[in-house]
Every structure is written in structure tokens, then in C-alpha cells.
Structure 1
Amino acid sequence: MSEIKLLGREDVSKLFKDESLLALLQENAKDSSNHNCESKQIEDWLNWCRDQKRLLKVIERPVPPGILPSNCNGDVIDVRVGGGGPDDTIFKKHPLIQQRVARGNSVLRLKDPEGQITYQPLIFALKKFTGESSIDEDDPISQFKEIVATAKANGEAAHFSAHFFKEVGFVLCIGSKNVHLLARSKDDLNKYTESRYSVAKVVAEAVFSTFQDLNEETLERIYNFSHYTKLTWTFELLNPGTQHVVNLSHLKSPQLNFIAWTLPYFDGRSSSLCAIRPDIAYATIEEHFGLKSVSFDVVKDRNRQSELVKMGYGYEGDVFYFIDEYDNVIGLMKIKTVWYIMIRAIREKAKRYKGSEFSNLVTRRFKSIQQWLNLTDAVVQNWTELALNYGFRNRACVYIYILMVMNTKEEWNNVRLEFHAKGERSVEETARLVGFKLPHDPK
């Protein structure tokens, strides 16, 4: 891949015909005179984050040599929710944190040869989703005009942004929900040896592999557009090697699906949770940037769409983006399928418990889910019978059992031994007989 050049703002604008992309460039490409103000704003935000000692974690790591210009020292600073209980609880109890902290926050602290310190934004991703029970008539989200309902495939969060530095050119910031790194090429990933970077490196490898398949003109658009707008690109990473509940075995390699663009509003006062409406972004993402996006529908009836999603099969659910009359995204909500919730409950209990202990715990969990989702007794009874008889009595039971297989040799061997002990065929042969493709065999 040849080196991507920095274009002037006027030249970048000529690369796009779409009015929404041109508007993003014009509104968010800032002059150098704004850098000091932006740096101070970020520094103030970081100091506020550090003051939330029991609720937020601020983690700093130096940028490895050979990535930033030789006359600069840099530190990547990640901010995450944690330390005072589960993330959901903290966001719910502390509205200011939900307002000012995204699920993915990263800034760069630079120190030049004269000792001057400046801050610049790297990643400011999507805010925390709310649940259905979190909305009432007084909530501004209830005044939505329509909903962009996007499919959630049970993948992992992936973030990307691009930044140009004199001497070295474009540097990419890539990462997962809580950990981000800087790299100019795939080779730079070898410089990150801490275990905390394991997921971020998987994301980075997927990004570099995806970009390797794009032509130079398309990469030029991506890098320059990202640099001038300071957007965070949020993706869902579908990785067959680390699949959770949803079957991803049809993928030969990790796949990135674009979700949304977000802007670095570190003061928490943005009028929209996304840079532009997601559906407008999806209409441009493949044509201008050669990337895949999540599937979506635009709907107006929240209750009806929620019920349709809950009845879905074989996927996690939907994320609802609530749009107001000015096309701002005023709220995010995740709706999960009953299938996913029940499969996950079975899987989590089966990983840890056996025999009567498993039966008691999964039955108790299903009763809790029944109250939460208002499920009928008949539905819960069917799932209970399925869970307690996952010992290969029908196709669905085998399917669930195989889904519970994890990604280590030991766990795979345990499954194979249990199949053998019950007088069944091998796990591979049984899977073939029921038409189910196994996940990739672990290394």
C-alpha cells in the first residue's frame, strides 16, 4: 500500500458529491486557530473524569517509538466506566456520566520539544444504550419522529479514526470499547505486547485487512475525511474466532460492518448522538468508502417494531436510533430477541453448572426472564424443556448444545467426551446430520 497523502480541504470536498458528506466537512473541519481551545476543552474533560474516582477509570499508556513524529512524545489516554459497580448501573444512577462519557473514549496527549503539552481527540464513540423500561412520557426521546432500526449481530465494538502528522503522515487510532492504540501500519501492532491490547489488536488487524482490499483513491477519501471531520467510525466486528451466541461460522475471516459516525463533543452538549442520521450514512458508506454497513429499517411505530424484533430468530436483536424533527439522533435503545436472551441464559448456566444445579438455576433464570419480558407460561415451559433436555433429543437441542461450545481445545474435548459418553455420534458427525456448520476448530 502506497503512502496516503494529505489533501487540502478544498480538494477533499471535490471528492464528494453527496450533500450530507459535504456538510460534515464544512461544519467540522476546523482551522488551526481552534486547536488551543479544543485542547483546553479536552484537558478540562479529562480532569473531570479523574475526579470521578469511584465511577470512571483513566488509563494512560505511552505511544511506542516510530509511530508519532520523532520530536514528539505521546500518550494515549483511555477513559472507561468502571470501579463502582456494573456499567449499566453507573450510567443509570449518574446522568452526567451518561451525557459526557461514551462507550469508547480516547485522547492523545502530545509533548513537543519545547515541553508544551496539547491534547487532541482520538475516539468518542456512541453513548450508552437505554432499555425499554427507561423511557417514559416525560423523556425527550418519547418525542421522536421516526426510528432507524439497525440489526445487531452479536459482534464486538470496533472504533477507528485517522490523524495526519507532519514527518510520518497518517496515523490510525483503532480499538475496542475500552482500549485503543495508534498505528501507521499492521507491523506497528507488534509493538503492543500488553495483554490489555489483545482485543484492540484483533480489531486493528481487521481494519488493516479491510483497508488492504480498497483502492488508493478510496483510502484517500477515508483518511482525509476522517482527519478533517475528527469523526469516530464505529463498526460491529463479526469474528468467527470469538463468536458468542450467534453463529458466525459462515464467515471465513473477521468482518467489519459500519454502524455510525460520532463527533468528539467532550463537553457533552451535542444536539445529536450521531454526526448524521445513520440511514443517511449507510446510503453513502459503500459508494464513497467501499465499506459494508449494518442492515436497517426506518419505522415509526416503536411498540410494533419492538415486538417484531423480540420474535426474531438467530440474531441478537436491533438497536433503535430515535430521530427528532430536525434529524438529530436523540436516543439509543437496544432490543434483544427472546431467542438470544434464552439461548444466552442456557449457555451461561451450562458453562458453569451440571445436573440438578444446572436445572434449578436455569429454571429460576427463566422465571425471572418471564417477568421481565412478559412471556406466557407455554413459551417458558417450551424453553425449559429444551434447556433441561439438551442431551440430543432433537435438532434444536443439538443446535443449542453446539452453540455452547467455546473456543479452547479443553472445552471442545469435553463436549466430544460427553457426546461419546451418551452413546451419540461424534459432535462433528451429529452436527452434519442436523445440517449445522460447526464454528472453526480452535487452535
Structure 2
Amino acid sequence: MQANKTLLAVGSDALLPVLQVLRQQHWHIIHIHDPQQWKAPRSTSCSAGLLLLDGKLLRKSAALQQLASQLDMEWLLLTERAQLEQAAVRAFINDSCYDYHCLPVENERLAVTLGRLHGKTLLRRRSQHEQTEQEPQQLVGEHPSIRRLRQEIRRLARVNVTVMISGESGTGKELVAQLIHQYSDRADGPFQAVNCGGLPVNLVQSELFGHERGAFTGASSCRIGRIEAAQNGTLFLDEIGDMAIEAQVNLLRFLQEGTIDRLGDNRSRSIDTRVLSATHIDLPAAIAKGRFREDLYYRLCVCQLQLPALRERRSDIPLLAQHLLQQSASRHGIPLKRLSYEALAVMLQHDWPGNIREMSNRISQGLAMASGRVIRPQDMGLGSRMQTLDHGLEAVRERAEREALATALQLHNHNSSQAARTLGISRATLYRLLKKYEMNAVD
């Protein structure tokens, strides 16, 4: 973990006496007068931000929010007490700052607060780094349906049978297939995923079974197919219901005999591959219409797993949203932001027709579009249903806060530490909100 204390100070020269004291406390200082002057040094990573808010900077609130959202660190605001009467100042503190101090500056208190900012920033960066190094595949959620699914995955991983994974689009069928492979004795072997709906009819045979040189026009070299590439591992056939009927015959033969023939080659090859498949369509209906072979269906469906839609496990939404938020920030190299209470309340109301995939996309959109450190419903392209209610802004906010608190507490059996972590707030903030709404939690 980086130990250097580097402070980005934004404000007029009225900051200079404060900065001189901080230098004596071993802070490295980068001082700019205007947020638009910021140019990230190549070799320096700031661990705390200090902002002296005056009338000039207040008129540049959009630039301040942009700067705060770009940098993965905590901010402390120095302000005149009278400025707290302005809604824009309060909103900026709520969205972008860890804390604020009223002028005049108390040097000892300032040192303590900046130390906390520095420590919190480093801890968050370390946590994000460790998350990227941990096992990337996990089934997030505590709903009873997800707990049962975890148990079923573990059981099925131990037996070498075909498994059909069913569920709506975006529910995580490929993730479940990867987990079955990961927990099986084939985990050291390859995992090959094939989107059957994305294979052109004229290429599906070559893609699955391979071909020899000269087998058809354009076959200038020998190529092994995806089934053969999964030797001693797992083959996952996604959207199996969209597979061309011609390819279904050869797939059935492989499942029955364990052998394949490359195009242009008369030799049969024995392949030891476990087959998992997935679909979002009604296969029995496809069989009745002659679009899917009934004998292949029974070969693929020795065991079945049904994945729940996200709307059927709404209590998992806060936990899943936090996981996807951290995952997306790490993947795109964007500083971590938090969901506003209203955003979380709207997400709990949304039906999520695209399920987890839709949530992941909307959260990535929110990270990119949010102007400050807080993601609001409109940043994710989710209109607030609560805005249509005949209530004032404060009533809307209070309802959002209350719903988010209730859901987080229910999810974690009223454990305050875990609920605060899910909501992305400190325990002190959680206790303040619990007192405000006369709600209870346990330590």
C-alpha cells in the first residue's frame, strides 16, 4: 500500500498558511487555484483533496464536481458557515465530500481529518486491488433461490452429466456454467463457450467439429473445432435452442458415442468433454414445431437448473448493485462512486427485463455519466417513478432513504456494519439515519 501523503489543494492563496503547516506534517502539496488547471502528474497519486470554497469557486461548481468525480480520493471542504445555507453548497458536500470544516481553520482538527481521508482512500484502493486479484467468478446474492442454486451447482459439479441451464436473457447462465466447471474435477482443463445463435449455418459444422485442409473452399489449413478444443474440460453451448437443425444431428452423435469427425476427414476422434447448455426459449415448444430434436433434448437435459429473474429476488438488488459498481469501476478504470438513496429505491422498483446484464450496463452508464461522486437515477437512464408522486423533494428523498435502509437491514438480518457496507455509507451515517426514521439495527 502506498504510504506517501499527497494532497491536492484547490483554492486561493488564502490557503497558503494552512498548506505551510501541512508541509511540516510531511504532506506533499499540489496547489491549484482553479479546478480547470488540474493536470494529473504521471508519477504522483493524490490521496486526499482540500478545497477552500469561496465565491469564485462556487460559480464553478460544475468544474469542481467534474474534478471530484475524476479523482479516486476523498475530499475535505473548507467553507464559511453562512455558505452552508446555500442548497448548492450542501448538495456538493453530500455528493462529493467526505467532510467539511467551517472557517477559521483549526490546525489540529484539520490534521486529524486529512489523516482519515488519506487512510480511507488507501484502504479503498487496496480493497479494489484485492478484488481484482480474487477469483472473478461468484454468484452474488442471499435470496433463498440463489442459496439453493449454489448448493445445486456444487452437487452437479461432482458428477459428469449434461446440464441444461434455463432462464431469461441476462440472468447469468454462462456464469453458472463457469462455476460448474470451476468446482468440478475438470477445472484444470479448458472451458469453451459457444454462442449457437451466433454461428452461421454454413460454418456451424466447422466451428464445432473442425475441418481438414481443403475440406471446403477457403479451408487453407487444418483447424480443430470447439468440441475438440474442450478436451478434458467443459463445453458450454449457449442458446442451444438456436442451433441449426443440421448441426443437431452431429451433436447428438457426439453425445451418444463420444466421437467427432472433422469435415474432410473420415477418421473418428474420441473426445472427453463435458457438455453444458443453456437456453432462454421453451425447448418442448420448439420440439413440437420441429425446430429442435427431441432425442437431443433428452441427451442435454440429464439435469436441469432454472435461474430466477432479477425481479423475483429484489432483496438481492442492493448487494448485486454494489458488486457490479465495484466491478465496473475497476474494469473501466473509473473512480468508485456511490448510488444515491433515490437511485437505489428506483432500482428496487424497476422490473429489470434485461436482468443482471441490464443492471451491469446501467451501472456502467451511471459511472460514466454522473457529474459528481453520487450516481442518480437519471445517470443510469432510469426515470424516477417517485418524481410523479404528489410530494415535495424532501418527501421523495426521505422515502428513498427509508426504503434503502429497510432493504439493506432486511438483507443482512439487521446487522448495522454489513448494511452500511452495502449502502456505501459509514456506520455513523447509518446510525444517524436509523435515529431519524426510528429504525433499529444490531452491532
Place the TM-score, normalised by the shorter chain, in its bin.
under 0.3
> Would you tell me which structure has more helix in proportion to its own residues?
2
> Would you tell me which structure has more strand in proportion to its own residues?
1
**Structure with larger RCO (C-alpha < 8 A, sep 6+):** 1
Q: Which has the larger radius of gyration?
A: 2
- TM-score, normalised on structure 2? 0.23
